[in-house]
Amino acid sequence: MSKLKKLLGSELMATDTFSRAITHRSADGKHNERMEFLGDSVLGLIITTELYQRIPRASEGYLSRLRASLVNENALAGIAVELAIGDLLRLGPGELKSGGFRRKSIIADAFEALVGCIYLEQGMDAARQFVLTAYGERLNNLPTEDSLKDPKSRLQEFLQSRGHDLPDYQLLEVHGEAHKQTFTAECVINSLNIRTQGTSGSRRKAEQEAAALAFQQVMAKK
């Protein structure tokens, strides 16, 4: 909380805008969802601009994947934990009892709402300074382009570069009711005699898991 107070200042934290930014819908009708919506766009613009300026030769695809890695729920929740945003949240009794102040989706949304709050109260320059400070070393240690590619893309590009057959994906099984299904997919690379399986809550993720396992086997054969 002291770190957040240092970044925001006591004057901003005393405003009604800040109060709404830290209020979850379970606690009050005047909650932070609209501010989170605004903050999401402000954050996206700040991060996009920073990446564009930092890496002038980066491709559009790399920039898109970088941005996605920096503004997804896990990344935002991680920053929210570092800033102890959960300690300030106003939650309803049910969310308090279930540990809502630790839930990734809630604290990630609260971080975006805070960005929206700063933008509304102090403008874009202040919002940008807050975001870049909060991200800290994350922006100084950006992941490489290859590490951000999804497993299917990495596998296909590697196989193409070596002249091997492209992977073939098949859906093997679907279990569970419509609202909660489990998918099992298979990845087959005939020229390397590789056959792997992945299981997940969506077909796409199951294929990605199978591709990741296949890529490991391909690298082991090098």
**What is the reported pTM?**
0.74
- Show me where the domains of the chain are located: 2-143, 149-220
Catalytic site residue from 11, 16, 28, 40: 40
**For 22, which DSSP code?**
T
Catalytic residue status for 40: yes
Edge to edge, the sheet with strand 194-200 lists 168-175, 182-189, 194-200
Residues in the annotated binding site:
36, 109, 112
Domains 2-143 and 149-220 share a fold: no
Assigned CATH class of 2-143: mainly alpha
CATH code for 149-220?
A: 3.30.160.20
Mean pLDDT of 13-19: 95
Residues in the annotated binding site for Mg(2+):
36, 109, 112
- Residue 69 in 3-state DSSP? helix
Catalytic residue status for 112: yes
Catalytic site residue from 16, 33, 95, 112: 112
CB atoms within 10 A of CB 69: 15
CB atoms within 10 A of CB 200: 17
Q: Where are the beta strands (DSSP E) in 91-203?
A: 168-175, 182-189, 194-200
Phi, psi at residue 58, to the nearest 5°?
-70, 140
Whole-angstrom Cα distance, residue 46 to residue 125?
A: 10
Closest by alpha carbon to 166, among 192, 184, 198, 202? 192
Dump pLDDT digits (tens) for 105-139: 999 999 999 999 999 999 999 999 999 999 999 99
| Joined tokens for residue 106 | 């809630």
Dump pLDDT digits (tens) for 154-199: 899 899 989 899 999 999 999 988 878 999 999 999 999 999 999 9
Whole-angstrom Cα distance, residue 138 to residue 154?
A: 23
